[in-house]
Amino acid sequence: MLPLTNDLVFFDLEATGLNVITDRIVQIAMIKLFADGREAQELEMKIDPTVPVSAEAAAIHGLTNEALKGEPTFPSVAKTLFDFIGDADLAGYNSNRYDVPLLQEEFFRAGFYLDTSSRRLIDAQHIFYQMEPRTLTAALKFYAGKEMTGAHDALADVRATVDVFKGQLERYAGTSFNKEDGTEITPFSDMDAIADFCKDDRFLDATRRLKRGPDGQPLFNFGKHAGKAVADVFEREPSYLKWILDKDFSTEVKALVRAIDEQRRKR
């Protein structure tokens, strides 16, 4: 039994490529685990991305534009997906850096805002790489004693991720972990602790465009102002904010820089 205090949706995406801003989802699969112990629900669908699927991506998941003809577009199924997730926490494999921001962008274009500020984000890959660096196939073998079948099919991958996470909880129950600063934690005591363990506090957004300075001040992590304080750059060069808002940065980055600039103006 998972230590759930909130519903938890495991999900996996296949897409036209790896850019979370410009690429599009071609397949989504979700498994919803309920905190009240109800039987889990599964949802899976193929999606017409309306943009070309890269040859590299198609070679991995086998979903070409021709194969996706006649499938629904994301805007036409967005409400169904959004309602399925509801207020649940989110979990996946490499989900914090890829699946979550990609799904946020798709929802945003369809008129929905997938707010993650009050959700726990569980990334089984982050746990795995911290504790036993391997691939999903090896993780499934290591934690669940199972052989991987159907790799890079979204539903097969998300089923494997559920089994990996269950195996991680069983294997590491009561295990302590020494952080880089020497602090000893018990990361598998409850879902809050697991979510904290999956966080990377060095960065403020999933695409790692903004990072946290030694004093906690937001810094740019890209371009000509890399390493500089965001508020200081906007003070000296207000046009840089507009440039960010007009370019292909994630909705999360744009919301953060707006908030930072508003705080700067109030000082």
pLDDT at residue 133, rounded to an integer: 66
Which pLDDT tens digit goes with each residue over 137-180?
999 999 999 999 887 899 999 999 999 999 999 999 999 999 87
Long-range contacts of 230-237 (CB under 8 A, 24+ apart): 230/257, 230/260, 231/260, 231/261, 231/263, 231/264, 234/260, 234/261, 234/264, 235/264
Q: Which residue has the tokens 């196939």?
A: 137
CA dist list (Å): 232 to 46, 133, 219: 45, 39, 9
Reading the block at residue 193, the tokens are 């602790």
The CA distance from 188 to 184, in Å, is: 12
Domains by residue range for the chain, with CATH: 8-198 (3.30.420.10), 210-266 (no CATH)
* Single pTM value for the model: 0.73
Hey, which bits of the chain come out as E strands?
Answer: 8-15, 25-33, 41-46, 89-92, 121-123, 177-178, 184-185, 210-212, 218-220
Q: What pLDDT is recorded for position 199?
A: 87
Taking the CA atoms of 232, 237, 241 and 243 in sequence, report the sign of the dihedral they define. negative
Measured CA to CA in angstroms, residue 148 lies from 29, 98, 157, 247 at distances of 17, 21, 9, 40
pLDDT, residue 152, reads 83
Tell me which residues of the chain have a pLDDT lower than 70.
1, 133
Residues 6+ apart with CB under 8 A from 146: 140, 160, 163
